[in-house]
Amino acid sequence: MTEDATIRRKRLRFRCHHTGMKENDLLIGAFADRHLDALSDDDVAWLEAFLMDHNDLDIHNWIIGRQVLPEELDHPVMRMLQNFRYA
């Protein structure tokens, strides 16, 4: 992994723990701690864009299944988030 990729992942990990909504911080932060290092660069880019382009409440509701996920957000990382259990 290049230095740039390492820095990008560190920034994304921070962003996953500081989303603006405590529930997302806990869920997405724990997900990042467990899976971020194993994600491809494309998956990292997708997660980064997902967090930056959508509001926190929608993100939370899509992950927990309270709202129907828009088709354009059906992505392997989203499915991993929806199936993630932090315990």
Residue ranges and CATH numbers for the domains of the chain are: 3-83 (1.10.150.250)
| Tens-digit pLDDT profile for residues 41-67 | 999 999 999 999 999 999 999 999 999
User: Is the pTM of the predicted complex or chain greater than 0.95?
Assistant: no
- The identity of residue 12, as a single letter, is L
pLDDT at 2: 83
User: 3-state class of 56 per DSSP?
Assistant: helix
User: Residue 60 to residues 2, 25, 86, 87: CA-CA distances in angstroms?
Assistant: 31, 10, 15, 18
Residue 29 pLDDT > 80, yes or no?
yes
pLDDT at 87: 53
Q: What is the dihedral of CA 86, 54, 41, 78, to 10 degrees?
A: 40
Phi, psi of 50 (to 5 degrees): -55, -45
3: left (phi over 0), alpha (psi -120 to 50) or beta: alpha
Residue 26 pLDDT > 90, yes or no?
yes
Give me the mean pLDDT over the 10-36 stretch: 97
pLDDT at 60: 97
